[in-house]
């Protein structure tokens, strides 16, 4: 160890003594300023001081990167200026090493926060889907993917390019810029073209924003209450049940006549949709393994409960028995990529147009089942259990567990009434296992 006045020439002359890996020299002009020289020739300014009577050493930086000195009023850093700063910390009983670590941590936090502030909807939406898709059904997952589709791809069916999803215009917006004003502007624009779709996608976006608030990486990025602001809620389109979106008793004969002219699979699907009251995707996703002809039951994937078992009524049983068994799907399609029907709504629309009946959506057939059930005075709780609705009262939720036989009694009455009004002959029945009535 040597002590001398540091100058550029004197520092250049310093070498590490033979046999040593490192040597230390100290400046006579600035207390604590030192020079560390390695056997390989590397040199760095250091600071040596005392905190609570304990010696510490802190590396200032390579001599090639740090100037030795600067004018007194200069704002530039230098080794002597930094050594004096570190000495002032020691005098205040502050460990320069901890102060350095704190500054590093603070810089990293600023960098992380700056990166967080740059995160866009497009960056986080796929992460959100990955984290939540195990809780969604196939249809819900598809809705989330379509909502942010940028469009411009070749259509799989028909000619032309696909349209952008309602949320596509927000994909490149930073989460920190999803303000109430931004959402209101987006909704107003989308409402002019597709209000129902915009309202549905707003609900998807709201779920995403609530999820972000629960995730450490994204919490506090989205402006508070942006999706719940009054001006946003008032801009969301209030969808109403379509007028006439339900088959009336006197329309059943025409409806069945038109639907039974469709292809066997589509015809069976549409009739079963009305007679079971199931959701469109629940029935479209029915597998042969979920059909029990022996015990007259259907096991349906339920979006609320996971799955539910409903009666296999005589006429539906007759429809299913006649279907071809091409693959695992009951309502199969030889042309679809996944092997089952994809868009039965087109066939249904054609059937309605051919008869002059008012438009009824596929969900309207589910609504029709619940409405027509009232003609046989079927208890509302029975209809809800068959259709997979959440219980609407304490008694239904905690004290009603109707067996399949009881559901079958009422479900068969509903089916018989609908077929009678449609002028369709009831299927012949015999007594099968455990006294169940099975199609002959």
Active site residues: 279, 301, 363, 366, 389, 399
Q: Helical H runs in 245-361? A: 252-259, 264-276, 280-284, 314-321, 344-355
Please choose, from the candidates 329, 323, 322, 316, the residue with its C-alpha nearest in 3D space to the C-alpha of residue 275: 316
d(C-alpha 380, C-alpha 393), whole Å: 11
Question: What is 394-410 written as a DSSP string?
Answer: HHHHHH----HHHHHHH
Name residue, tokens 């309202």.
199
d(C-alpha 428, C-alpha 423), whole Å: 15
**Radius of gyration, alpha carbons of the chain:** 37
Name residue, tokens 């009232």.
374
d(C-alpha 83, C-alpha 1), whole Å: 18
d(C-alpha 150, C-alpha 271), whole Å: 36
Distance, C-alpha 392 to centroid of its chain:
28
336 by DSSP, 3-state: which? coil
On whether the CB atoms of residues 89 and 136 are closer than 8 A, the answer is: no
Type and span of the H or E element at 430: strand 429-431
Count of C-beta atoms within a 10 Å radius of residue 322 = 11
Question: What is 148-170 written as a DSSP string?
Answer: T----SBPSSSSSBPPPPTTGGG
Strand 33-38 and strand 43-51: pairing?
antiparallel
């Amino acid at each position: 160890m040597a002590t001398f006045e540091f100058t550029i020439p004197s520092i250049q002359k310093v070498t590490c003594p033979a046999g040593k890996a490192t040597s230390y020299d100290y400046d006579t002009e600035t207390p604590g300023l030192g020079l560390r020289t390695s056997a390989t020739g590397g040199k760095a300014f250091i600071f040596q001081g005392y905190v609570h009577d304990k010696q510490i050493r802190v590396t200032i930086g390579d001599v090639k990167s740090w100037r030795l000195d600067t004018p007194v009023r200069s704002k530039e850093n230098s080794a002597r200026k930094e050594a004096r700063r570190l000495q002032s910390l020691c005098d205040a009983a502050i460990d320069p090493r901890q102060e350095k670590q704190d500054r590093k941590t603070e810089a990293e936090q600023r960098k992380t926060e700056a990166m967080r502030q740059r995160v866009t909807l497009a960056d986080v939406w796929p992460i959100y889907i990955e984290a939540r898709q195990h809780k969604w059904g196939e249809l819900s997952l598809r809705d989330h993917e379509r909502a942010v589709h940028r469009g411009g791809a070749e259509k799989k069916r028909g000619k032309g390019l696909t349209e952008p999803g309602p949320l596509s215009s927000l994909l490149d917006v930073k989460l920190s810029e999803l303000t109430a004003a931004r959402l209101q502007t987006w909704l107003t624009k989308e409402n002019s073209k597709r209000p129902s779709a915009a309202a549905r996608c707003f609900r998807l976006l709201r779920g995403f924003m609530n999820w972000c608030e629960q995730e450490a990486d994204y919490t506090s990025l989205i402006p508070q209450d942006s999706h719940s602001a009054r001006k946003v809620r008032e801009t969301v389109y209030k969808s109403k049940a379509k007028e006439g979106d339900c088959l009336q008793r006197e329309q059943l004969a025409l409806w069945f006549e038109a639907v039974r002219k469709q292809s066997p699979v589509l015809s069976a699907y549409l009739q079963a949709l009305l007679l079971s009251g199931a959701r469109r995707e629940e029935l479209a996703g029915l597998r042969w393994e979920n059909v029990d002809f022996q015990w007259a039951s259907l096991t349906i994937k339920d979006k609320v409960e996971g799955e539910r078992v409903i009666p296999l009524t005589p006429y539906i049983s007759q429809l299913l028995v006649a279907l071809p068994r091409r693959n695992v799907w009951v309502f199969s399609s030889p042309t679809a990529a996944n092997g089952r029907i994809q868009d039965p709504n087109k066939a249904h629309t054609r059937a309605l147009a051919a008869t002059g009946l008012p438009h009824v959506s596929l969900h309207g057939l589910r609504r029709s089942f619940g409405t027509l059930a009232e003609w046989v005075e079927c208890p509302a709780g029975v209809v809800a259990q068959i259709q997979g609705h959440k219980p609407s009262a304490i008694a239904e939720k905690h004290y009603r567990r109707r067996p399949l036989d009881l559901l079958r009694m009422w479900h068969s009455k509903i089916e018989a009434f609908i077929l009678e009004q449609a002028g369709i002959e009831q299927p012949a029945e015999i007594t099968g296992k455990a006294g169940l009535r099975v199609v002959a």
